[in-house]
Structure 1
Amino acid sequence: MKVFNIASIPGDGVGKEVVPAAQRVLKAVSDVHGGISFHFTEFPYSCEYYLEHGQMMPDDGLVKLKDFDSIFLGAVGNSKLVPDHVSLWGLLIKIRREFEQVINIRPAKFLQGIKSPLASPKDFDLLVVRENSEGEYSTVGGRIYRNEEEIAIQNAVFSRKGAERAMRFAFEMAAKRKKHVTSATKSNGIIHSMPFWDEVFELTAKDYPDIAADSQHIDALASFFVTKPETFDIIVASNLFGDILTDIGAAIMGSIGIAPAANINVNGKFPSMFEPVHGSAPDIIGKGIANPVGQIWTAKMMLDHFGEEELGSKLLDVIEDVLKSGILTPDIGGTSTTEEVTDEIIKRLKAL
């Protein structure tokens, strides 16, 4: 039997509600499969931890996490307690950077049972591959002067290695899907980094002659996500552009509460991290109505990462079947609780 050791970080807010729910689902998956099991070790790193210790995780926090097979994260942030830039850079982004999780993957799919805000949604199924280590989110820059003379400088950093790595990852994924990669660019307005990005994309595409490749400016691409999302397969994007596009992807699905994400380490030195896109949702903490689908779909992505793609596909089918039957949390138009949705997914998994 294969045993996967998972570092569980429920984090803040509803993360503490949906992570246990998703762990119950993974337990059901292992019961159905019989050949795999999951061992979870929970870590209390969160804004509450910060208030007690003055940091989001201990000095040896990364050392404690580095030997796990993966990290299963719930939500980070409570701006009433800790400024967002402190909580994110002290935990989520720190793990991403230090563990070289250079690729971020976020799917968007039309799910039966969920009402999309699109007037006439078609059967879209797309995946954004986001460069996750540099680009517009670099830490290069600073501020000088004060008052009306103050200047803030933020430098975007693009390396050939980082851009090409994300692009090759996108092409490899497209080879398993609909064989189409779209690059998000803005070379008509950003004079240095985006023409560089385009050149690397064109060169990389030549190594994948069987995969269709095109580039689209980010403003048009964002509008096409709304008007014709069914035309896309894999989209590869820089850190900022990928961040924006994936939130649009979550919106056209019908709720950010169902959107999953994966932060992938590609060199095998450190664990990858899996997290839903939604935040800590402080307005519904403790009400028992947090949508567990985002975290459970995130578990599906973790199964894929472990090579259990068939199991992952079955889990997503069960999720969609439950949604289609009208068992929905309030954020997507239903009246079911977190526990009721989770229980039904587990029930149908065990009936396979």
Structure 2
Amino acid sequence: MTKSYAIAVLPGDGIGPEVVGCALDVLDAAEERYGFRTERSTFAAGANHYLETGELFDAVEAQLRDKEAILFGSMGDPRVTPGILERGFILEMRQRFQQAANVRPVRLYPGVPTPIADLTPERCEMVIVRENTEGAYVGRGSTVHAGTPNAVAMQESLNTRAGIERVVDFAFRLAVGRRRRLTLCHKTNILVAAGQLWQQVVADVGERYPEVEVDYVHVDAMCFHLPLTPERFDVVVTDNLFGDIITDLGAVIQGGLGVATSANLNLDGSAPSMFEAIHGSAPDIAGKGWANPAGAILSLALMLGHLGEGEAARAVEAATVEVLGSLPALAGAGMGATTAELGARIAAIVRDGRADTGLVPDSLLGVLAGLAPSRPAG
């Protein structure tokens, strides 16, 4: 019997529809080659929909909750005040669906240029696990005397033991399947209360995983070590804000935002997980065919691995790496092909069964399999 998966597709704004369109073409190829199918529901969430209707996450929550996974493009538009879409949709989805772990591979693939001199793929292969529902992103704050010289703004950061423990335990389990090293990244010398709670949880959870070596790095020191000695790190676990910042630095190291990908994982199967490239909507290049679809297609690979289609996931990742390694550049029109052409090349490799999975022999996908449960439809 052919397996079928119910997924939601949120193309979003700017370049989102272009890169998601490429990912769906690759998904078509994977279905043909590997004998599964998906039932896809596309939702018109994003700036245009908000400007026309005023609707945000509330309008689609019930429909999305029934899906097994969500493939997300990008969201953001200069016509919408910053924070409305980000908080009213993206953060709402992460929090209501308890997508507790944001998993971002930082991996330099063969043939992909990096601005770091002499960096090789063997030296850059880590995973950053970011707590995804708490910290400074809970949205709690207030402003008094707004618009006056006496304006005062307060912004709270919330850390709970339960929230920290679930993501730290996931990071330890991930480390067990990799090189058995885990680094806590925080700012314990200044953010003393939150930092102590994170350190205590890591120490307590670490007792269950004695085979994992644990160390600690301040977040400012991480910004120094990450580009110069990335081989020092295997699995990094950190809070929401710090994770947001250092993963963008990681994306630069691995070849740019167009190559970087992420999974927003619900860790207990109570709601769907969401998969997205980490780049923004880039409205200035939307429609020009300049966007690199690799991040979105690698997000698809993570989604397939999460759903249990490991063979297809590895093929999609390997095909993407093969095409990335053949490009003359990875910025703007210098890619040597349009967005759609790159997507078509990757899809053709997957469809024909020509993907060289030896390009990614220690794929993250295999390690992730089974760590976060996929969710039955309905």
TM-score by length of 2: 0.89
- Mean Cα deviation higher: 307-316 or 192-201: 307-316
2:143 is aligned to 143
- Between the aligned partners of 1:104 and 1:122, the Cα distance in structure 2 is 25
Closer, same or farther: CA 222–330 of 1 in aligned 2, 3 Å:
closer
Unmatched tracts of structure 1, length 5 or more:
none
Q: How does 1:142-181 map to 2 (within 5 A)?
A: 142-146=142-146, 147-181=148-182
Pair 1:71-2:70 in alignment? yes
- Between the aligned partners of 2:287 and 2:334, the Cα distance in structure 1 is 19
> What is the SS of the residue equivalent to 1:336?
coil
- AA aligned to 2:95 is R
- Mean Cα deviation higher: 321-330 or 251-260: 321-330
Percentage identity across aligned positions?
Answer: 36
> What is the SS of the residue equivalent to 1:84?
coil
Q: How does 1:1-352 map to 2 (within 5 A)?
A: 1-34=2-35, 36-57=36-57, 59-79=58-78, 81-123=79-121, 124-146=124-146, 147-326=148-327, 330-331=331-332, 333-352=334-353
- Between the aligned partners of 1:252 and 1:311, the Cα distance in structure 2 is 27
1:242, distance to aligned residue in structure 2 (A): 0.6
> What is the SS of the residue equivalent to 2:33?
helix
**1:213-248 CA distance string (max 9 Å, x none):** 111111111211110112211100000011111101
**1:188-216 CA distance string (max 9 Å, x none):** 11121112211111111111011111111
1:26–1:299 CA contact under 8 A, matched in 2 = yes
- Between the aligned partners of 2:56 and 2:9, the Cα distance in structure 1 is 15
Closer, same or farther: CA 192–210 of 1 in aligned 2, 3 Å:
same
1:84, distance to aligned residue in structure 2 (A): 2.0
1:101–1:265 CA contact under 8 A, matched in 2 = yes
2:356 is aligned to none
- Between the aligned partners of 1:285 and 1:338, the Cα distance in structure 2 is 11
2:376 is aligned to none
- AA aligned to 2:71 is F
- Between the aligned partners of 1:16 and 1:350, the Cα distance in structure 2 is 22
- AA aligned to 1:143 is T
- Between the aligned partners of 2:231 and 2:120, the Cα distance in structure 1 is 6
Unmatched tracts of structure 2, length 5 or more:
354-378
- AA aligned to 1:61 is V
- Between the aligned partners of 2:4 and 2:21, the Cα distance in structure 1 is 18
- Between the aligned partners of 2:283 and 2:153, the Cα distance in structure 1 is 31
- Between the aligned partners of 2:324 and 2:310, the Cα distance in structure 1 is 21
2:18–2:340 CA contact under 8 A, matched in 1 = no
2:113–2:329 CA contact under 8 A, matched in 1 = no
C-alpha root-mean-square deviation of aligned residues, in Å? 1.5
1:290–1:329 CA contact under 8 A, matched in 2 = no
1:327, distance to aligned residue in structure 2 (A): 6.7
> What is the SS of the residue equivalent to 2:237?
strand
1:328, distance to aligned residue in structure 2 (A): 5.7
- AA aligned to 1:160 is R
- Between the aligned partners of 1:10 and 1:110, the Cα distance in structure 2 is 26
TM-score by length of 1: 0.95
- AA aligned to 1:255 is G
- Between the aligned partners of 1:320 and 1:290, the Cα distance in structure 2 is 16
